[in-house]
Amino acid sequence: MSIHGHDVGFRRAGDGPPILLIHGIAGSSQTWGQVMPLLARKYTVVAIDLIGHGQSAKPPGDYSLGNQASALRDFLSVLGIERVSVVGQSFGGGVAMQLAYQYPENCDRLVLAGSGGLGREVSLLLRILAVPGVEYALPILFPSFVRDLGNGMVQFLHNTGFRHPRAVEMWRAYASLSESENQQAFVRTLRGVIDPGGQSVSAMDRLYLAARIPTLIVWGDRDNIIPVRHGYEAHDAIPGSRLEILEGVGHFPHVEEPLRFAEILSEFMDTTEPSNFTLEERRELMLSHDSAPSVPDGAK
């Protein structure tokens, strides 16, 4: 598919109420490979390659959350999907929240899995990769011969029956960065949301808007990239939201426990009504929120 003259990679399966799956940074729609067939039994499932990722174009320019959300709106329009339940993992969670914030008329439900944009903390590795000038070291850090060797090893282990989905997902991200254009897109994307001190973008001041959209938060209790505490804090900040903590699971619940993830998502879809949050209602909610009197420090 081409939108505005740029290629857009995506996967589509199933029939029923639509679900949009949004991957994390340095990822692609491939990350949803095990979950899609499970969800496609009941839903129309669409997994996109964000701008700068997978099979989508990697042009120079704007890789911000806002531009990614606008691209998703246009993508849904071309597919003829007016409203959708949005599922975002890691960086994709930040994009999902931005989509729901900018275009509430397009979002039936919001699902955040190990989402970014909910606190300052993030892994040391990502903070190091956000240091100015690191882009000049990426060809050394991510050489193609290491990718080829690693891909061969992953295939060998797979053939012998060894399974470690979290490690495989991390390897996919590493391998994707062996391509020069991917490295450039990665740096642009990363610096839009992370600086050497941590995450630089936060949705916490706008989470009150999500109270009008059915919201599910899924997190692994062993997430060493974005701490599970962010999930608890987002749950507290969004009245009526649901929180599912998966024991023994890391940053990729949809990869590490695909069946459980699909069951949780399906149950959420079946037991909630689609949002009817409109732009006018959003405006009124923002006005009422910002006009509410603040409570002075120390007041009871």
Number of structural domains, the chain? Answer: 1
| Confidence tier at 282 by pLDDT (50, 70, 90) | confident
Q: For residue 159, is pLDDT > 70?
A: no
Predicted local confidence at residue 130, as pLDDT: 93
Predicted local confidence at residue 144, as pLDDT: 62
Tokens encoding 296: 């002075």
Residue 60 lies in a domain: yes
Residue 210 lies in a domain: yes
Which range has the top average pLDDT, 66-70, 150-154, 171-175, 283-287?
A: 66-70
User: Where residue 276 sits, what CATH number does that domain have?
Assistant: 3.40.50.1820
Residue 111 lies in a domain: yes
What's the mean per-residue pLDDT of the chain? 88
Query: Using one digit for the tens of pLDDT, what is the confidence trace for 143-155?
Result: 664 454 555 554 5
Q: For residue 270, is pLDDT > 50?
A: yes
> What integer is the mean pLDDT of 240-255?
96
Query: How, if at all, do strands 198-199 and 194-195 pair?
Result: antiparallel
Is 206 exposed, middle or buried, given 0-12, 13-18 or 19+ CB atoms closer than 10 A? middle
> b vs e for 217-252, b when ≥16 Cβ sit within 10 Å of the residue's Cβ?
bbbbeebebbbbebbebbbebbeebbbbbbeebbbb
Structural contact between residues 56 and 49, judged by C-beta atoms closer than 8 angstroms: yes
Residue 159 lies in a domain: no
Domain that holds residue 90: 2-121+201-285
- Point out the residues that are catalytic: 90, 223, 251
Residue 267 lies in a domain: yes
Residue 103 lies in a domain: yes
Structural contact between residues 281 and 212, judged by C-beta atoms closer than 8 angstroms: yes
Largest CA distance in the chain: 64
Residue 21 lies in a domain: yes
pLDDT over 90 percentage in the chain: 68
Answer with the residue of higher pLDDT: 144 or 86. 86
Predicted local confidence at residue 243, as pLDDT: 98
Distance of CA 80 to the CA centre of its chain: 22
Query: Using one digit for the tens of pLDDT, what is the confidence trace for 66-80?
Result: 999 999 999 999 999
Predicted local confidence at residue 215, as pLDDT: 97
What's the pTM?
A: 0.89
Q: For residue 293, is pLDDT > 70?
A: no
| Confidence tier at 300 by pLDDT (50, 70, 90) | very low
> b vs e for 94-114, b when ≥16 Cβ sit within 10 Å of the residue's Cβ?
bbbbbbbbbbbbbbbbbbbbb
Answer with the residue of higher pLDDT: 152 or 200. 200
Residue 86 lies in a domain: yes
Query: How, if at all, do strands 242-246 and 215-220 pair?
Result: parallel
> Would you say the C-alpha torsion 95, 220, 194, 118 has a positive or negative sign?
positive
Q: For residue 168, is pLDDT > 90?
A: no
